Structure 1
């Protein structure tokens, strides 16, 4: 199943309750935070979400295969993501799941640890 098929299947099983104009930036932010966590690249952009130093074991060739974002409450959105990458052990993994929570703080959205 290719990424487009995975995305369609995810969105069919778990539809978004957000306007597409809000969902797309939420997914983009969640993807950046997840990829920074997996690869170590861009961690400095999310100091509260990814505190500390670069991880010693990082994934290579990481990509988000599919995603859908849903509003939890007035200030919280959860992005449900499927991702693939080469593990630190060299094994290729795909269809891994992650949930990145985003919270509206001031005038912007930021990823938060729950």
Structure 2
């Protein structure tokens, strides 16, 4: 059972458990951990502007004074899971988050899906690269 909207951080654990129950894990633990960290950071960069320089291919020209849509101080990821997205080299990070926008309106239960593709380097290592949002 999901907590009511507006429950605050106290409801985050229930949301996380509901996501994990509804969408069973299907990635190796290391990949899931890497994707979750990247997904959280990418969402934070998109919503608040903090950290956009880490992904110049996702945020080209982000240094041009673009005002962030959400307050950094009042932004949090409530829950997240990383799962395969059709093929072994594709994954989706499903995030539920809360934040206060520029109009000072707070809302929780916002949903964002971020897609990643696994790429291999010439040395045999691989990494997950975010895909452009459509």
Q: After the TM superposition, which parts of structure 1 deviate over 4 Å for at least 4 consecutive aligned residues? A: none
**TM-score between the two structures when normalised by the length of structure 1:** 0.91
CA RMSD, 1 decimal: 1.4
Instruction: Please point out which of 54, 70, 92 is paired with 2:83.
Output: 70
The answer as to whether partners of 1:30 and 1:79 remain within 8 angstroms in 2 is yes
Counterpart-to-counterpart distance in 2, 1:112 and 1:49: 8
Q: Does 1:95 align with 2:109?
A: yes
Q: Does 1:85 align with 2:99?
A: yes
Distance 1:57 1:42, change over 3 A: closer
The answer as to whether partners of 1:103 and 1:112 remain within 8 angstroms in 2 is yes
Report the CA distance between 1:13 and its aligned residue: 1.5
Counterpart-to-counterpart distance in 2, 1:30 and 1:40: 14
Alignment partner, residue 35 of structure 2: 26
**TM-score between the two structures when normalised by the length of structure 2:** 0.78
Report the CA distance between 1:52 and its aligned residue: 2.4
3-state SS of paired residue (2:44): helix
Counterpart-to-counterpart distance in 2, 1:75 and 1:113: 16
The answer as to whether partners of 1:15 and 1:68 remain within 8 angstroms in 2 is no
Greater relative contact order (CA < 8 Å, ≥ 6 in sequence): 1
3-state SS of paired residue (1:48): coil
**Structure 2 unaligned runs (5+)?**
4-10, 121-125
3-state SS of paired residue (2:21): helix
Moved more, 47-56 or 61-70: 47-56
Q: In terms of Rg, which structure is larger? A: 2
**Structure 1 unaligned runs (5+)?**
none
